[in-house]
Amino acid sequence: QVQLVELGGGLVQAGGSLRLSCVVSGSFVSIATRNWYRQAPGKQRELVAGITRDGSTVYADSVKGRFTISRDNAKNTVYLQTDSLKTEDTAVYYCYAVVFDLDGRPRSFWGQGTQVTVSS
């Protein structure tokens, strides 16, 4: 069984920073794509940032220059450094991973979500 556990959410003032982390645990061969999504109340879930195993990254236009995604493959962990936070960044942030199981098949997994609230 593969699990994703997120840490690092919380309440912060506008202009502040938070560092989110997501660790993958369980039985698997390797982890491919790692993404962060977010969902604000009344809105659809949206991709915030993604990183491939070799380190290629992609960001939503709304967070470019403010958020940084990184990964530590040895620790099965992905990070999202969020700087210069705005009130519109308030949302539940979800970690997503594509994991190759013990049969070599790719499978998708989601974390439980962590709340980020930015106050004005």
d(CA 118, CA 120) in angstroms, rounded, equals 7
Return the pLDDT at 110: 97
pLDDT digits (tens, 9 = 90+) for 46-92: 999 999 999 999 999 999 999 999 999 999 999 999 999 999 999 99
d(CA 72, CA 86) in angstroms, rounded, equals 27
Share of the chain above pLDDT 70, in %: 100
How many residues appear in the chain? 120
pLDDT band at 1 (very low <50, low <70, confident <90, very high): confident
What integer best gives the mean pLDDT of the chain?
Answer: 97
Return the pLDDT at 43: 97
Return the pLDDT at 103: 95
